[in-house]
Structure 1
Amino acid sequence: MTGIRIGIAQPAISDDARVNGPKVRSLMKKAAAGKARLIQFPEGMLSGYAKEQIADWSQVDWAAVRDELEQIMALAAELELWVVLGSAHPLTPPNRPHNSLYVISDQGQIVDRYDKRFCSHTEITHFYSPGFEPVVFDVDGYRFGCVICVEINFPHLFTEYERLGVECLLLSAYPVDSIFELKARAYAAINAYWISMSLPAQTADLMPSGLITPLGTYAAQAESELTIVDLDRDASDFQPALTVARPWRTTALKGEIYRARAVTDPRSTNHTTP
C-alpha cells in the first residue's frame, strides 16, 4: 500500500473526562485493529466543549483530564498509533485554557499541540485564550495539518496549509450549521488536499464525519462511531488535482508568470474606453 490508513471518530462527548477518556481508548483499539496509523477525534473530546458540555471551567476536573490524557498517551505507544485529540488545555490561572488538538505520536509523546487561533465571539470573551501558530506533522511520509471548527470561516488558514505542503488537513469541530460541510468540501477542492472531519455524534443530524478528497467528494462518511479509510496520493483519480492543478495554483499565487507578461498599452490602463 502506498497510502496511509486513518480513523475518523464520531463519538458522543460528555462533560466528564472519566467517561470521555475510556471512549477515546476504546476507539483507539478499534482503529489499531483496523490497521489505521492515525485516529482523529472531535473538538473538545476529552475535556468536553465549552458552550455545550461546559458552562464554566470550574466544573472541569483538570486532574482527571490529565490522568486520562496520560493513559491515552500510554495506549498510543502500546498500539503504535498516532492520535489527534481535541481537548481544552489548561493554562496558569487566571488565564483561560486553549481550545486545542493534542498531536500524540505512535511513541506515546505529545509532539505538538494546535491551539485554536480564531475563536468565536463567545469563546474568546468567556472561555478560551487564542493560539497563533499553524501545526504540521508527518506520518509515514504524509503531511498533516490541524484546524478547529469556526476556523472554517477563515480561508487564509486553509491556503496557509497548502503552502506548508499539507496533504490532509484534520478538521476537528463541533459544528452548528449544515453549510459547514459545503465550506469544507470547497476548501478541499480549491487547495487539492484531503480534509478529514471529525465531529461529535451530537451534530450528526447536520452532517456526518468523513474524509473529503482533493476533488471535493467524499471518500467515506461516518455510519458509526469510527470510520477507517485510506488516502493515497498515487491513486489515479486524484492525479489531475495533485500533479496539475495544485502545482499550477502554487505557481500562479507567486505571481511571476503574470508580472512577466504585463503589457504597456493605453488600452489596458484606460478602464473607461470602449
Structure 2
Amino acid sequence: MKTVRIAAAQTCEYREDIEAALGCIAEVTAQAESERVRLLCFPEGFLQGYLIDETSARRVALDLSSGEFKGILRRFPQTEATIVVGIIETEGGRLFNTAVVIQGGSVIGRYRKTYLLDAEKAFDAGTETPIFEVDGLRFGINICYDTNFPEAARKVSEFGASLLVCAANNMMSRQKAEAFRELHNAVRGERCRETGLWLVSSDVTGERDGRIAWGPTAVLNPEGEVAGQLPLEKTGLLIFDIPLSVQNGPHQAGLKPA
C-alpha cells in the first residue's frame, strides 16, 4: 500500500520571539527533510506564541498580505515538505487564530479556528473548511478546541480528506493539565471513529508562570487508537507513514507505524 510520510513537532513554547520560533522551524525542518517527510506540522499559535489577550495578540498579529509577513516567509527553510504552522493573523482589523499551509515557499491556504474558547474573545471565528493535498493525501485542519466538536471533523471528512491535522497548545494550570492528561487523545479518538479519519496532533511542552504543557503529539488511526506518540514532556519529532485510502469512511482499517 502506498503511504505518505508525515511528521509532527512537539516543541518548546515561543512567545513574542519570532526569531527563536524561526530557528526551531529551521532545525525541525532539516530533520524532517533528512527523513523524507512530505507533511510537517507545528503547534497552535507557534510563530508568535499563543497570546489570547487582545493587546498582546494585536501587537504580534501578522497580515498575510503585508511586507512584514512576506519577509518572514522568505526566511522559512526551503523544503519539499508542506508545512502547517499556527500563527496569529490579522485582516481588516480582525484577529484570527490561524494555521497557514506553506508549500514551495508560498502560502497555499489557511484555516482559521472555528470554535473559540471563552478566553479567546479577541479572535473572530473562522467559517471555512479548506482541504489540502500532498502526494495524494488529502487533509484538513482543526485547531485544538475545534476537536471537541464533531461538526468540525465531519466537514473535513465530507470534503474528501482522510487526515485531520490538529495544531494545539495545551499549556494549562497544573491542576487542569492533570485532569486533561488522558482526555486529549480520548476526545480526538472519538472524532476519528465518527469520521474514519486519521488524525495527527502537534503540541507544545514545557512550563511557564505556574503552567505546564505535556503534549500529547500523536497519530491516531481511524479506530481512534494511538498509533504513534512522542513521550510527554519531551521535545521531538514524530514521524509516521499514513496509508493512502481509496475511499474515506468510518470503518477503515488502521495500520501501525512503519
Q: TM-score range by the shorter chain?
A: 0.7 to 0.9
Q: 2:252 aligns with which of 219, 222, 242?
A: 242
Letter in 2 for 1:217: E
| Residue pair 2:196, 2:249 contacting (<8 A) in 1 also | no
CA-to-partner distance for each residue in 1:47-89, whole Å, 9 max, x for gaps? 111149x9623543858765333311xx2xx321100011111
CA pair 64-12 structure 1, distance change in 2 beyond 3 A: farther
Alignment of 1:222 onto 2:217: no
Greater CA drift, 220-229 or 32-41: 220-229
Moved more, 129-138 or 55-64: 55-64
User: Could you list the runs of 5+ residues in structure 1 that have no partner in the other structure?
Assistant: 244-274
Secondary structure of the structure 2 residue equivalent to 1:146: strand
**What secondary structure is seen at the aligned counterpart in 2 of 1:79?**
coil
Which residue is equivalent to 1:90?
A: 90
Secondary structure of 2:115's counterpart equals coil
Q: What is the SS of the residue equivalent to 1:90?
A: strand
Q: What TM-score do you get using the length of structure 1 for normalisation?
A: 0.76
Cα 1:61–1:173 shift into 2, 3 Å:
closer
Instruction: Give me the whole-angstrom Cα distance separating, in 2, the residues matched to 1:191 and 1:111.
Output: 25
Q: Are 2:206 and 2:214, in contact at CA under 8 Å, matched by a contact in 1?
A: no
Of 112, 118, 129, 1:115 maps to 112
> 96, 99, 102: which is aligned to 1:101?
99
Higher share in helix = 1
Q: Is the 8 A contact 1:10 1:200 kept in 2?
A: yes
Structure 1 residue aligned with 2:48: 47
Identity across aligned pairs (percent)? 25
Compared with structure 1, are the counterparts of its residues 10 and 61 closer, same or farther at alpha carbon in structure 2 (3 Å cutoff)?
A: same
Whole-Å separation in 2 of the counterparts to 1:64 and 1:37: 27
1:152 aligns with 2:147: yes
Q: Supply the distance in 1 between the matched residues of 2:190 and 2:58 (Cα, whole angstroms).
A: 39
Q: Does 1:137 align with 2:132?
A: yes
Return the TM-score normalized by structure 2.
0.80
Within 2, Cα distance between the matches of 1:61 and 1:231?
33
Q: Structure 2 residue aligned with 1:212, among 208, 220, 243?
A: 220
Q: CA deviation at 1:192?
A: 1.3
How far the C-alpha of 1:100 sits from its partner, in A, is: 0.5
Contact residue 17 and residue 65 of structure 1 kept, 8 A: no
> For residues 15-30 of structure 1, what are the structure 2 equivalents within 5 Å?
15=15, 16-30=17-31
Segments of 5+ residues of structure 2 without an aligned counterpart are 173-179, 254-258
For 2:160 and 2:61, how far apart are their aligned partners in 1?
A: 38
Report Cα offsets for 1:85-130 as digits up to 9, x if no partner: 11111224xx23211010111x22111010111111221x2x2122
Flag the 1:56–1:231 CA change in 2: closer, same or farther, 3 A: same
Range with bigger deviation, 198-207 or 95-104: 198-207
Matches within 5 A, 1:251-266: none
CA distances 1:133-172 after superposition (whole Å, capped 9, x unpaired) = 0011111111100010111221111111111111110011
Q: C-alpha displacement at 1:187, in angstroms?
A: 1.1
Matches within 5 A, 1:172-211: 172-175=167-170, 176=172, 177-178=180-181, 179-202=183-206, 206-211=214-219
* CA–CA separation in structure 2 for the residues paired with 1:205 and 1:13: 9
Q: Which residue of 1 aligns with 2:176?
A: none
Larger Rg over CA atoms: 1
The structure whose residues are more often strand, as a share, is: 2
CA distance in 2, matches of 1:136, 1:240: 18
